[in-house]
Amino acid sequence: MRLLRYSFLAIGLGAAAFAQDQMANLTGETARVFATTRGQALTGPHPSARAAVNTFLRGQGRSAAALASLLLRSESRDAAGLTHLRLSQSIDGLPVYGAYAKASVNGSGELVHLIDQLVEPRGQAARSTITADGAIAAAAVRRFPGERLQFRLVSDTNGTARFSSGNTYFHQDPTAIRVVVPLEGGALQTGWLVETWTNQGNQLWHTVIGNGGRVLQEELRTANESYRVFPEHPTVSLGGITVGTPEVTLAGPTSTTASPNGWVSADGRTAGVQSQFRLAGNNAYAYLDRDANNTPDAAGATITDGNFTAAANLSLAPTAAPNQQVAIQNLFYSVNFVHDKLYTAGFNEVEGNFQESNFGRGGFALDSVSAEAQDGSGTNNANFSTPADGSRPRMQMYLWNRTVPNRDGDVDSDIVFHEFGHGLTWRMIGSMSGCMSGAIGEGASDAVSILLNGDDVVGEYSYNNSNGIRRYRYTNYPLRYNNLTGTSVHNNGELFGAILWRAREKYLAAGQSVDQLLSDFVGGMKYIPAAPRYEQMRDGMVQQAGGATGGPTSRGCMLYKAFAEYGVGQGASGRCTSAGRWTVTATTTVPTACR
């Protein structure tokens, strides 16, 4: 193995000569989305789902080379009899960054929905002018200016180079993956996808490096919460109103399908040994990290009887030993609870959920959630980093200092559910960063919280405010689509939380369950392109509610009306630049079938 050393203060990359290289815009704005209309399928019957996809794409002008470049990533079948395919693209044996297709085929072999975000192969992709070493150097200069970092090449196999930094700066070894990069104008160029994941701050970055070490694109895959700082949270009086829940003893798991071996089991990391301050299972590993070194603190006494029933003393600080044990119990329970609920709603192994073992059901295993309780690296905050399927995500939960004694986000399931929601949208939709899609990601995470807890505010316990951490409660939320301004993803994401809360009101009034809405919300993500817009979130959920027909059924109309009431009706469109410049056309129109 060769040893590579860099002092990144001194590197110059000379990228000016390659300024003409601009990466193609592969986002929800450019994806081609095809859906059934009036119940009419996109194709006739075919012997297989893949054959239906190929026929339709060929009819839309995709070349034989493009069809031959498609690789099946996953295939699943839902309760409505629809087969869902996820396809990636490979050219010259390398993955094409940002290129994919998602398709749904009914039981008759007819294509009913397709998202086409593919590129056309145009001969062999131009070779990259830099090596994996240079790509790591370029990404480090961009991401960590002023840091003196040294890297050692650990392995270089199958197009992936892995580097060790020789210290604790990174949560896991940085990697450089050789990819094909689509450029504006249709040209293709090989380049590198560099993944770096820091210990401090839990920052997971994907950086695409082109010729000359030029940064073509960067994407932060960590959702950081900047809040305005026992099933739900401890009972407390806020504004003269008592909210929250008392401590109760509950059994787990909530679903033997989602968690066949239970919640507490050998998970490949702890051999099933449970203790006061470390609980592990197939879906989560919860532990204290008060010293912020991103590894578990002392385990405490072993627990062998399966009873994790320490009682809280809220008159003491959260860091008192009994309350730390309560923090672990609550965090572990909440992560497993939301895992099981979202699994039942459609976030399963094939869709990239978080489990150590996938029980032969597809997807990639060894990626349960690392949940760090009372993390010492911050306060009044929380975050969730979502790497690709098969790599473990990391949740960091902090203490909140707006009261004396302080409060602990680990016992506030609003925050736990919200953070887990970021993992849901990153895995099932993708590219949930940027001005609009980042806002939708925040609103979707709020939606997970308010739907599971049945409460129209988020984080009221930790924030010590009866209205929670958002500007308004979600009941009768006052803003609309055309009120979105600026770059605050939290403020702009409130709109999606309000829409889902309104949909909840409509479902319940019509005799539908919140679980059904949750299934339409999660299942709809199969029909939504990466880096989505508000209207694409609407269309995906309506498509899911339509089942095999995909049309505006009664549930689909309730969803459409909820979106339309907030300005995301038929004909609505919205875009936002990274500089926060919004262009929104808001309408309250619904399809004729829903009037």
113 phi and psi, to 5 degrees? Answer: -160, 140
Q: Coil, helix or strand for 318? A: coil
Q: What is the pLDDT of residue 224?
A: 66
Does residue 103 contact residue 120 with C-beta atoms inside 8 Å?
A: no
Q: What is the mean pLDDT of residues 59-64?
A: 95
Q: What is the pLDDT of residue 578?
A: 79
Told to judge if 419 belongs to the known catalytic residues of this protein, a careful annotator would answer: yes
Q: What is the pLDDT of residue 511?
A: 97
Tell me the DSSP string of 435-467: HHHHHHHHHHHHHHHHHHHT-S-SSHHHHT-TT
Does residue 120 contact residue 63 with C-beta atoms inside 8 Å?
A: yes
How many whole angstroms separate alpha carbon 147 and alpha carbon 140? 9
Q: What is the mean pLDDT of residues 486-495?
A: 95
Query: For the segment 304-343, what is each residue's pLDDT rounded down to a tens digit?
Result: 777 888 889 999 999 999 999 999 999 999 999 999 999 9
Answer yes or no: is pLDDT of 377 > 60. yes
**283 or 20, greater pLDDT:** 283
Q: Coil, helix or strand for 303? A: strand
Q: What is the mean pLDDT of residues 213-237?
A: 76
Query: Which residue bears the tokens 């302080």?
Result: 406
Answer yes or no: is pLDDT of 18 > 50. no
Q: Residue 225: beta bridge partners?
A: 382
**35 or 19, greater pLDDT:** 35
Confidence of residue 398 (pLDDT cuts 50, 70, 90): very high
Please give the structure tokens belonging to residue 182.
Answer: 């689509």
Confidence of residue 551 (pLDDT cuts 50, 70, 90): low
Please give the structure tokens belonging to residue 523.
Answer: 């299942």
Helix, strand, coil % in the chain, rounded to nearest 5 = 30, 25, 45
How many whole angstroms separate alpha carbon 592 and alpha carbon 595? 5
Q: What is the pLDDT of residue 50?
A: 95
Confidence of residue 556 (pLDDT cuts 50, 70, 90): very high
Query: For the segment 415-450, what is each residue's pLDDT rounded down to a tens digit?
Result: 999 999 999 999 999 999 989 999 999 999 999 999
Q: What is the pLDDT of residue 186?
A: 86
Q: What is the 3-state secondary structure of 22-51?
A: CECCCCCCCCEEEECECCECCCCCCCCHHH
Q: What is the pLDDT of residue 3?
A: 46
CB atoms within 10 A of CB 531: 26
Confidence of residue 476 (pLDDT cuts 50, 70, 90): very high
Answer yes or no: is pLDDT of 385 > 90. yes
CA distances from 452 to 160, 301, 338, 421, 501 (A): 40, 33, 8, 11, 11
Q: What is the pLDDT of residue 538?
A: 97
How many whole angstroms separate alpha carbon 410 and alpha carbon 420? 13
Contacts of 412 (CB under 8 A, 6+ apart): 232, 233, 459, 461, 462
Q: What is the pLDDT of residue 272?
A: 67
Q: What is the pLDDT of residue 346?
A: 96
How many whole angstroms separate alpha carbon 264 and alpha carbon 274? 8
Answer yes or no: is pLDDT of 229 > 50. no
% the chain with pLDDT above 70: 94
594 phi and psi, to 5 degrees? Answer: -105, 0
The answer to whether the peptide bond before residue 234 is cis (omega within 30 degrees of 0) is no
Query: For the segment 401-413, what is each residue's pLDDT rounded down to a tens digit?
Result: 999 999 999 999 9
Confidence of residue 267 (pLDDT cuts 50, 70, 90): low
How many whole angstroms separate alpha carbon 431 and alpha carbon 581? 19
Report strand pairing: 394-397 vs 369-373: parallel
Confidence of residue 299 (pLDDT cuts 50, 70, 90): very high
Confidence of residue 271 (pLDDT cuts 50, 70, 90): low
For the chain, give the longest Cα–Cα distance.
69
Tell me the DSSP string of 164-226: E-SSSSEEEEEEEEEEEEEBTTS-EEEEEEEEEEESGGG-EEEEEE-GGG-EEEEEE-EEEE-
How many whole angstroms separate alpha carbon 430 and alpha carbon 388? 10
- Consecutive H or E run containing 58: helix 49-59
Does residue 338 contact residue 284 with C-beta atoms inside 8 Å?
A: no
86 closest CA partner among 440, 539, 540, 529 = 529
How many whole angstroms separate alpha carbon 195 and alpha carbon 282? 25
How many whole angstroms separate alpha carbon 520 and alpha carbon 105? 17
% the chain with pLDDT above 90: 71
546 closest CA partner among 563, 561, 558 = 558
CA distances from 31 to 99, 367, 449, 569 (A): 10, 29, 29, 20
Half-sphere exposure of 195 (CA within 13 A, CB side): 19
Question: Of the listed 419, 460, 494, 535, which one is catalytic?
Answer: 419
Alpha helices (H) along 266-388: 321-345
In whole numbers, what is the pLDDT of the chain averaged over residues?
Answer: 90
Query: Which residue bears the tokens 């294509």?
Result: 111
Sign of CA dihedral 470, 472, 473, 479: negative
Q: What is the pLDDT of residue 520?
A: 97
Orientation of helix 554-565 relative to helix 489-509, angle to 10°: 140
Confidence of residue 550 (pLDDT cuts 50, 70, 90): low
How many whole angstroms separate alpha carbon 191 and alpha carbon 128? 5
Does residue 439 contact residue 492 with C-beta atoms inside 8 Å?
A: yes
How many whole angstroms separate alpha carbon 17 and alpha carbon 39? 53
Orientation of helix 489-509 relative to helix 435-453, angle to 10°: 40
How many whole angstroms separate alpha carbon 127 and alpha carbon 120? 17
Q: What is the mean pLDDT of residues 295-302?
A: 92
Please give the structure tokens belonging to residue 506.
Answer: 């409509």
